[in-house]
Amino acid sequence: METLFLVLGALVSLSILVLVHELGHFIVAKRCGVWVEQFGIGYPPRAFGKKIGETIYSINWLPLGGFVRLHGETTSDGVTEPKRAFLNKSKSVRLAVSLAGVTANFIFAAVVFAIVGAVVGSLPKGIKVLEVAEGSPAQVVGIVSDDRIVEIDGVNLTYTEYLQPLLEEKKNREIELTVLRTIEGINGYHFLKLTPRINPPEGQGALGIVFTANEIVEPTLIQAPFAYVRYGIDKTYFLSVRILKGLGGIFKEASRGDVPQGVGGPLTVTAVLAEFVRFGLLPLMEFTAVISVNLALVNLIPFPPLDGSRVLLVIVEALTGGKKLAPKIELYMQTAGMAILMGLVLLMTATEIPKLIRAGSLTQFVENILGV
């Protein structure tokens, strides 16, 4: 019974993400004068549907996503109102509608992160330097004890654990640190450039500093709205950079013919989300926001029927002087792409089910996935 409750909680979280994404497309399409024929959660066959105004709102049996069906979306066949057909709209409108779902997921993630920070009521204050090693890159550029490192190359260090992955990425490359220094009660920001070492002396890190775990600050009532919004945006940005690097690694492995590691299908995502339901509302909200960023970035991949494919077609059209791809060819591409994606989903699910059975429980399955 508990497992059923956890899974239902996970499915509700995923449904919210789909709803947010498709709502982005829906709102922008309506604002731009495009006729939205159907707004669906899940994929057909349809379980329930009701027409309100000119749009059918449906819940469908395959809970793997959602869709917004636009009038004249990929072909002029069946178009009864040419002026309201997506295909006949300007490049800027088609680009805005195509990117609206991704944008909605980014905004959702930033808002959720900000809300979690506000509920907790405190924010990280930056990484405080305790010691600086002699002759280290940090000492050479003038970093001293009690300095606080708040950014690396514009990325806000909202958590201590962000420091090591960032330095690992940028070893032997010049970086810019934003350092907050307090002198006689006056705060000042210093922007220092240095190069993290690849092979530091024993007992020293790439920068040559000893630092504390993140300290926590509680914003004043006036500062709070701006502080938490900034926190939400910073965390979404940092997470996006990390996910993009992960996606790059996956494509690199696939191009070499290797099986990409760390890739999970719908069953894995649902299982991990179900475990976060067990941890409580705030952890669940944070992980849902993480998935929202993943969903946004994956949808930018230029593979039909993902949003990135439509974005790419508009860009190609602009570069070729307004020459559009034949609607029927685009329709074939969308159909073939959907078939390939559904095939991959089914294949991944088929490989995950035996692992779940062998694990014996949802918790053990997730622990096996995460290598706990």
Query: What pLDDT shows up at residue 172?
Result: 81
CA–CA separation, 225 and 219 (whole Å): 9
If one counts every other C-beta atom within 10 angstroms of the C-beta of residue 52, the result is 8
- Which of the listed residues 158, 190, 217 is the one where a domain comes to its end? 217
Same domain, 179 and 73: no
**In one letter, which amino acid is 80?**
T
Q: How far apart are CA 34 and CA 88, in angstroms?
A: 10
Q: Are residues 66 and 160 part of one domain?
A: no
Residue 86 is classified by DSSP as G
Distances (CA, A) of 106 to 237, 356, 365: 9, 31, 29
Residue entry with tokens 């946004």: 296
Backbone angles phi, psi at 267, to 5 degrees: -65, -40
The per-residue pLDDT for 273 is 83
Q: How far is CA 70 from CA 74, 253, 296, 314, in A?
A: 9, 36, 20, 16
Q: Does one domain contain both 282 and 350? A: yes
**313: CB partners within 8 A, 6+ apart:** 325, 330
Are 355 and 289 members of one domain? yes
Q: What is the pLDDT of residue 55?
A: 94
In the three-class reduction of DSSP (H, G, I as helix; E, B as strand; rest coil), residue 350 is classed as: helix
φ, ψ of residue 346 in degrees (nearest 5): -65, -40
* For helices 362-370 and 2-31, angle between their N-to-C axes, nearest 10 degrees: 60
Residues 133 and 36 in one domain: no
Q: Give a yes or no: residue 250 inside a domain.
A: no
Q: Examine residue 227 and state whether it is found in any structural domain, yes or no.
A: no
Same domain, 87 and 137: no
Domains in the chain, number: 2
Here the CATH number for the domain that contains residue 201 is 2.30.42.10
175 and 195 in a single domain? The answer is yes
Question: Which sign, positive or negative, has the C-alpha torsion 189, 195, 200, 206?
Answer: positive
Q: Tokens 């793997």 identify what position? A: 64
Residue 77 burial by Cβ neighbours in a 10 Å radius (0-12, 13-18, 19+) = exposed
Quick one: pLDDT at residue 54?
93
The strand pairing partners of 43, in sequence order, are 62
Q: Is residue 245 part of a domain?
A: no
Q: Is residue 133 domain-shared with residue 86, that is, in the same domain? A: no
Mean pLDDT per 10-residue interval, the chain, length 372 residues? 75 88 95 94 86 92 82 83 92 95 97 90 78 91 89 71 75 85 76 88 87 74 86 85 78 64 73 83 89 93 90 90 78 85 83 82 72 52
Domain extent, residue 357, equals 2-120+261-370
Judge whether 105 lies within some domain: yes
For residue 321, being part of any structural domain is answered with yes
Same domain, 116 and 265: yes
Same domain, 298 and 358: yes
Give dist(CA 21, CA 66) in Å, integer. 9
3-class secondary-structure state, position 221:
coil
229 located within any domain: no
- Contact status, residue 122 vs residue 227, Cβ threshold 8 Å: no
